[in-house]
Amino acid sequence: MAIPRQRRAAIFFLCLFLSAAAFMAATTSLAYGQAEESSTVTSDTNGAPSAPLQKSTDSSGFFHRFAKAYLDDWKGTADDPDLPRRGYPAPVSSPPFPFSDWPYGGSPVIGAPDTSGGPLMSAIYSGEHGKAWEDSRIKIYGWINGGFNVSTSDKHYGNAPAAYYIQPNSLQLDQAALYVERMPDTLQNDHFDWGFRLTQLYGLDYRFTTAKGYFSQQLLTNNNKSGYDPVMAYVDLYWGQVADGMNIRIGRYISLPDIEAQLAPDNYTYSHSILYTYDAYTQTGINVTTRLNNHWMFQVGLSAGNDVAPWVGEPNAKPTFNACVGYTWKMGSDNLYVCDNSTNSGKYAYNNLQAYYVTWYHKINSSWHTDTESWYMWEKNVPNANNPMATPLLITGANGAICASTSDVTCYAPEWAIVNYVVKEFSTRDYLTIRNEYFNDIVGQRTGYKTQYSEHLIGWGHWIGTTVLIRPELRFEHAYNNPAYNLGTKKSQLVFASDVIFHF
């Protein structure tokens, strides 16, 4: 008898959780015998709730401690340590927001405290071998994220290019995510330290995170609605004594720029802007991040390209350069982040975007802030979707372009976009998000439709403790030149949606 997809998702996540439990049991024994004393807390701000360190041992069972961690969190009685940091004070608060420091990819935020963890780690820290776990600095945590939408579109995957909820009028499991990580200690700037992260994801959202060569047959061959993706797998090598801290990341990591991110807790809203939906997601390579002082941060890297594994080979995988610079001023209230995210030959291949970004973060006052991002992207020698002679040149999963003339076999395919967030904090439990954007898919290579778009959203975020986040939103968008919604039958679309993120 065939197992329903929803039940397969639940079984898959249960297997992940049991695997993590087995890993914990094995690692606890190792950590208990070999752990070294650590005098600092590590850093990486990723929207996950903080995990207070429990100094006393609770002799009750693991599941009792696990449940108690949730109850303490929801009642507001969990410990909230005042974590140290280096440099400017954090510009915003997390929660309610998905980050406290203006975000950049390819590295932990150098000098910022670690807020990762959750009830699972709280239960472990308060157990028999809690001190050993704390000293090992290995954390296991994650979340389950599900949501629904009500849309004026009704065809299969008809909400696109809105994302990630592409299926109209539906309820779905968006993400079941599991992290295993150790963060390097970037609060210090006098010695070497190291870290790693392994991230497993299952759900509808794999359709957007998938990179060619990483179990990509689920999407590119089978077009499965839901699937699995190992979104991140990297090591961090941190030298505190170089400049004001230098981190080298090696492996598969999230693409460097963007206000938004693939993982649900790292975003203000349930849905994503069109700008974010159609840019690069992950890269596999090496990235060096150097903090010079409170003002300046530089990054340089080399990867196999956007959303492609190195072993895929030409023409899709090729040496790709990236470089970014960040400048922070007004005691951390303002940050400008400029990125050359991917530069190579620029020839048409799987997601071979040549992409250049500018992002500005600005704190208006104690409760309001705004984020603005713009990019320009292009590929050359893109096959003409309107010329049958170009059909053999098309690559699965990579759109052709709607060139100016049907006689053209290939053409240049550019696009540009800009998005602005205005965000208001009402309390540590509640915030308001207003998003407006413009996206110009000049020859239709990214969305499949040659048109300009605008999108407007108002959303609310409400926390229950620091472990449950509910995000209702209302979104209206319009395609100006050609119908692009409901599989190319509508120019406009209105969607009401909401999701819930349950951290563990």
Span 3-16, pLDDT tens digits: 444 444 444 444 44
- For residues 352 and 492, what is the distance between their CA atoms, to the nearest angstrom? 29
Q: pLDDT tens digit string along 393-419?
A: 999 999 999 999 999 999 999 999 999
Residue type at 137 in one-letter notation: R
* Residue 339: burial class (beta carbons within 10 Å; 0-12, 13-18, 19+): buried
* Residue 328: burial class (beta carbons within 10 Å; 0-12, 13-18, 19+): buried
Supply the CATH number for residue 314's domain. 2.40.160.10
Domain that holds residue 373: 5-503
For the chain, how many structural domains are there in total?
A: 1
Yes or no: say if 500 and 143 are a contact pair by the CB < 8 Å rule: no
Residue type at 152 in one-letter notation: T
Q: Which residue has the tokens 């089978």?
A: 222
Give the pLDDT confidence score for residue 278 in this predicted structure. 96
Give the pLDDT confidence score for residue 499 in this predicted structure. 98
Give the pLDDT confidence score for residue 52 in this predicted structure. 44
Give the pLDDT confidence score for residue 49 in this predicted structure. 46
Residues of the chain with pLDDT under 50: 1-55
Residue 478 has which token pair? 């319009």
Residue 291 has which token pair? 């903090």
Give the pLDDT confidence score for residue 77 in this predicted structure. 82
* Residue 242: burial class (beta carbons within 10 Å; 0-12, 13-18, 19+): middle
Residue 417 has which token pair? 């976009």
Yes or no: say if 436 and 419 are a contact pair by the CB < 8 Å rule: yes
Give the pLDDT confidence score for residue 2 in this predicted structure. 41
